[in-house]
């Protein structure tokens, strides 16, 4: 698992607030753009004046270079084109990694849901600086980037400012597809949806969770009364405006019981959605606190998963199963099985070492490996 933030030892800091830089190893950049870059120093020999900041991983002793930060060695994955934020205190965050296919940008930790299994527990504090930073980040991300994600919290709580972000994404990164994770409730306002559609982004998908066909159960899982109706209305409104929608279902003890009926509900009522993702449970945030209510061994529900996938695929719905291990699913799920490629999702346990399918298997969330995973993991030999 990558360390996405760390504290640098900084010497002579000349800026007084959090600033974003593109990482570069290249010397001799034109002076008109130099200030946007953090120059990755190999040694003092390639020091050159004019860069916004200087970073290095070795213990180079002070040489009077201003804005020079010694990063923890764990962050030496940073490469050309990555974007980092640096605080005057020396706090460093990796915000965008050019070599990752899945860059997700956190927009807020505020949320109007309080999901039993939230991996990013909401905080009710003003963190709108995150949105400001995301707006700035859009100017630094390379234009050839294939995809970026926006997540929260609930990004649409920003209202029109969220629409501004989507609009800016389209203007700054016209060829980059966008995934937004949202509970969809804001789109139950047809006027908001119309304005969202009017941004006319060519490839933006809103990923919205539906946890049950039973409104009471969905509301319980997200801990918000009336959520189900607003979420469904939001999806209907988005499709009325021909916007792309993905339905996301996290599988756990509270959702597995009606998973097949939920998929039937989607097939009958929301057939027009673009994708349905069935996902394993991540052992983060609230999940660990609510583990008794949530944990079910994937091995125990594998037949239900097969049936649910069977329903969706019968109806020709584009379906994917994420975050499951090959040894705990039935073969009929394989055509829909996706190996996730995010950095924090590809871990393996000891049993996996002998497995011949390891390279095809999605493995575990780092958090699952640490805290809880199926009792039925066994190597395919």
Partner 1 sequence: MSNFQTIEFYKNKKKEYSLLPFRFECLGENNYVVTNLAGEHLIITRDALENLVRHKLNSSSADYVNLRAKHFLTDDKTQIAKELLSIKLRTKYSVLSEFTGLHIFVVSLRCEHSCPYCQVSRQSDDKVKFDMSTEVADRSIDLALRSPSKNIKIEFQGGEPLLNFQLIKYIVLASKTRGGDKNISFVIATNLALINEEILIFCKEHKILISTSLDGPKEIHNTNRPRPKGNSYEKAVEGIQLAREYLGIDSVSALMTTTQNSLGHVKEIIDEYLKYSFLGIFLRPLSPYGFALKTKTYAAYNADVWHEFYMEGLEYIIDLNRKGIKFREYYTSTILTKMFTSQEVGYVDLMSPSGIGIAAVVYNYDGSVYASDESRMLAEMGDNSFELGNVLINSYEDIFLNPKLLDPIEESFAFSVPMCNECAFEAYCGADPVFHHGVFKDFIGRKPDSEFCKRNMKIFKYLIKRMEHDPYVKKLFMSWAQPNA
| Residues in Cβ contact with 83 at an 8 Å cutoff, skipping those fewer than 6 apart | 20, 21, 22, 23, 94, 95, 96, 137, 140, 141
d(CA 289, CA 307): 30
- Can you tell me the distance from the alpha carbon of 82 to that of 99, in angstroms, rounded to the nearest whole number? 8
Find the distance separating the first CA and the last CA of the chain, reported in whole Å. Answer: 27
93 binds partner 1 (CB under 8 A): no
Under the binding rule (CB under 8 A), the answer on residue 229 touching partner 1 is yes
Peptide bond into 363 cis (omega under 30): no
Residue of 161, 307, 342, 370 interacting with partner 1 (CB under 8 A): 307
Largest CA distance in the chain: 68
Place of tokens 């804001």: 186
Q: Which of 232, 276, 352, 377 touches partner 1 (CB under 8 A)?
A: 232
The yes or no reply on residue 127 touching partner 1 (CB under 8 A) is: no
Q: Is 314 among the residues that bind partner 1 (CB under 8 A)?
A: yes
List Cα–Cα distances, 10 to 26, 76, 286, 315, in angstroms. Answer: 22, 16, 35, 58
Is there binding between residue 261 and partner 1 (CB under 8 A)? Answer: yes
Torsion of CA 145, 363, 2, 294, to 10 degrees: 100
Among 47, 57, 265, 344, binds partner 1 (CB under 8 A): 265
Closer CB to partner 1, residue 112 or residue 306?
Answer: 306
Number of residues located near partner 1, criterion CB under 8 A:
24
Residue closer to partner 1 (CB basis): 271 or 380: 271
Select 120 or 212, whichever has its Cβ closest to partner 1: 212
Q: How far is CA 90 from CA 17, 18, 22, 63, 66, in A?
A: 11, 9, 16, 18, 13
- The site map against partner 1 for 180-219 (x = CB under 8 A) is ---------------------------------xxxxx-x
Q: Which of 5, 93, 233, 293 binds partner 1 (CB under 8 A)?
A: 233
- Choose the binding region for partner 1 from 83-91, 155-163, 262-270, 341-349 (rule: CB under 8 A): 262-270
Give whichever of 152 and 209 is closer to partner 1, judged by the CB atom.
Answer: 209
**Could you say whether residue 315 binds partner 1 (CB under 8 A)?**
yes
Asked whether position 330 contacts partner 1 by CB under 8 A, the answer is no
Give the CA count within 13 Å in the CB-facing half-sphere of 176. 27
* Cα Rg of the chain (Å, integer): 22
Q: Does 228 bind partner 1 (CB under 8 A)?
A: yes
When the beta carbons of 134 and 267 are compared against partner 1, the nearer one is 267
- 278 touches partner 1 by CB under 8 A: no
Task: Please tell me whether residue 321 adopts helix, strand or coil conformation.
Answer: strand
Interface positions with partner 1 (CB under 8 A): 213-217, 219, 228-229, 232-233, 236, 258, 261, 265, 267-269, 271, 307, 310-311, 314-316
């Amino acid at each position: 698992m990558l360390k996405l933030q760390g504290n640098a030892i900084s010497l002579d800091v000349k800026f007084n607030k959090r600033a974003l830089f593109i990482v570069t190893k290249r010397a001799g950049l034109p002076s008109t753009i130099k200030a946007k870059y953090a120059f990755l120093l190999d040694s003092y020999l390639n020091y050159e004046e004019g860069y916004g900041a200087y970073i290095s991983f070795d213990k180079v002793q002070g040489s009077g270079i201003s804005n020079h930060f010694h990063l923890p060695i764990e962050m030496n994955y940073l490469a050309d084109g990555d974007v980092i934020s640096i605080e005057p205190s020396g706090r460093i965050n990796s915000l965008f990694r050019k070599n990752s296919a899945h860059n997700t940008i956190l927009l807020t930790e505020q949320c109007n849901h309080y999901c039993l299994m939230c991996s990013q527990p909401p905080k009710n504090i003003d963190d709108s600086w995150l949105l400001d930073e995301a707006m700035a980040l859009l100017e630094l991300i390379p234009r050839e980037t294939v995809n970026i994600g926006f997540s929260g919290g609930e990004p649409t709580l920003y209202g029109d400012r969220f629409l501004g972000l989507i609009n800016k994404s389209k203007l700054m990164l016209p060829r980059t597809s966008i995934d937004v994770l949202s509970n969809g409730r804001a789109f139950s306002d047809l006027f908001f949806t119309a304005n969202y559609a009017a941004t006319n982004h060519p490839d933006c998908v809103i990923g919205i969770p539906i946890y049950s066909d039973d409104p009471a159960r969905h509301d319980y899982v997200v801990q918000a009364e009336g959520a189900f109706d607003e979420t469904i209305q939001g999806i209907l409104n988005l499709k009325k405006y021909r916007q792309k929608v993905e339905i996301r279902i996290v599988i756990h003890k509270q959702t597995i019981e009606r998973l097949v009926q939920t998929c039937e509900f989607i097939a009958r009522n929301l057939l027009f959605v673009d994708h349905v993702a069935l996902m394993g449970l991540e052992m983060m945030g609230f999940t660990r606190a609510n583990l008794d209510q949530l944990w079910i061994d994937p091995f125990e529900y594998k037949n239900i998963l097969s049936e649910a996938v069977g329903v969706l695929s019968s109806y020709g719905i584009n379906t994917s199963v994420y975050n499951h291990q090959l040894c705990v699913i039935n073969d009929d799920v394989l055509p829909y099985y996706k190996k996730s490629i995010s950095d924090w999702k590809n871990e393996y346990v000891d049993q996996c070492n002998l497995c011949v399918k390891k390279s095809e298997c999605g493995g575990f969330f780092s958090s699952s490996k640490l805290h809880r995973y199926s009792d039925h993991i066994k190597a395919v030999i």
